[in-house]
Amino acid sequence: MSYFEGFVVPVPTASKDAYVKHATDAVPMFKEFGVARMVEAWGDDVPDGKVTDFKRAVKAQDGETVVFSWFEYPDKAARNAANARMMADPRMMEMGASMPFDGKRMIMGGFEALVDEGSGGQSGYADGFIVPVPIANREAYRALASKASQVFRDHGATRVVEAWGDDVPDGTVTDYKGAVKAEASENIVFSFIEWPSKAARDEGMKKVMEDERMKTPPEDMPFDGKRMIYGGFAPILDTANG
C-alpha cells in the first residue's frame, strides 16, 4: 500500500529560488534513501479561513508563502527504512543547517493511502487538503472520498489521494493536529488532487461544484468541513519529471 510523508512549510517569498535550489540539491540524496517521488508545490491559491487555514497551520508571517509537499513510498516499510537512513546520514545535518525557511514551524507526518486513484504522473497543479476525521468514521470517509474521486477524475483530475494519519507527531510549535484543531477522537487525513494544469483545475473545479454527485447533506458528512484546510499549489519540483 502506498505511503506518504506529508509536509507543510512556511517559506519567505523572497527565498523562493533558494528554496527550489535547496530542494533540488537534495533530490539525489532522497532518491538514494528510497523516496520514489518527491513533490514541492508553491502556494498559489491559498485562501484565509474562518476557523483554520494553511497560513495559520504553520504560523505564516507577512512575506511568507506556504509550500505543500510530499514524499511517496511503495509502502510503510520503505518509508521507515528511508527515515532510518536519513537520521544516520551526516548530510542531513548539513542540509538542515542551510534551510531557507524556519524548520521549527514546518509540520510533517506519515500517512497510509486510503484512496489512491488515477494515472498520476507529472503534476501541473495540485489542490492540497488537511482534514480532521473521527477515527470511528474511517470507512465512511473512505467511501465518500472514493465517490468524490470519481467525480474529480471525470472533470479532469489525473489523480486523487486520500491518506490516513499513521505517524503524526505532536510538535512544539506547529503540527497537523493543531492545524485543524483535531480532537482526541479524530485522526488527520492528508489529501491532494493532481491536475494537468491550473487552467484544467479551475475549469474542473467549476464542474465538480455543479455535479449532483457532490451534493452530500451536512448531516451525512463524516467530518467537520469547517475545520478542513485547503488550497491550490503550483509544483516547483516534481521528480516524476525524471
pLDDT tens for 102-132 read 999 999 999 999 999 998 767 899 999 999 9
The mean pLDDT value for 201-224 works out to 94
Q: Which three cell numbers stand for residue 169?
A: 507527531
Instruction: Say which residue, 96 or 60, is predicted with more confidence.
Output: 60
Q: Which three cell numbers stand for residue 6?
A: 506529508
Predicted confidence at residue 123, as pLDDT, reads 80
Predicted confidence at residue 218, as pLDDT, reads 84
Specify the CATH number of the domain 3-241.
3.30.70.100
CA angle 44, 50, 54 (to 5 degrees): 35
The mean pLDDT value for 194-216 works out to 96
The mean pLDDT value for 175-179 works out to 98
Predicted confidence at residue 242, as pLDDT, reads 60
Boundaries of every domain in the chain:
3-241
Is residue 147 helix, strand or coil? helix
Question: Confidence class of residue 11 from pLDDT cuts 50, 70 and 90?
Answer: very high
Predicted confidence at residue 200, as pLDDT, reads 97
Give the up-direction half-sphere exposure of residue 147: CA atoms within 13 A in the CB hemisphere. Answer: 13
Mean pLDDT score across all residues of the chain: 96
